[in-house]
Amino acid sequence: MLEMLITQNLVELGSKKYHITASSQEINNALQNFEEQNGITTSSELQQALSENGMTLSELQNNLRIKVLEGKLAERNVSVTSAEIQTYYNQNKSKFESIIREIDSTQRSTIGDC
């Protein structure tokens, strides 16, 4: 709980420092994503889920606002060049090849089951 409060405060401070905001639309989109991820299709299901977790809609919206701000702060200074992507790929080529082999093997198994 303490860690969450500290994180929220840091996100709030960072967003103020860099003039980053979360619009109502962004919070509503985050709420829709939350509902989809949790299989919530009605407002009564949402209220039940909130009640089961001892939370109000306002608290959930504030948590989602913090998540939106956190994402924007994280993206703020992210810039990746093609050269950096290529270097990362080259350094991790064996991992990617392993994943591709696994996907190929899974696809062959699935096709064979048909």
Say how far apart CA 28 and CA 64 lie, in whole Å: 9
Find the radius of gyration of the CA atoms of the chain. Answer: 21
Low-confidence residues of the chain: pLDDT under 70: 1-2, 78-80, 106-114
Say how far apart CA 114 and CA 111 lie, in whole Å: 5
Backbone phi, then psi, for 100, in 5-degree steps? -60, -45
Say how far apart CA 49 and CA 44 lie, in whole Å: 9
- What pTM, to 2 d.p., does this model score? 0.66
pLDDT of residue 77: 76
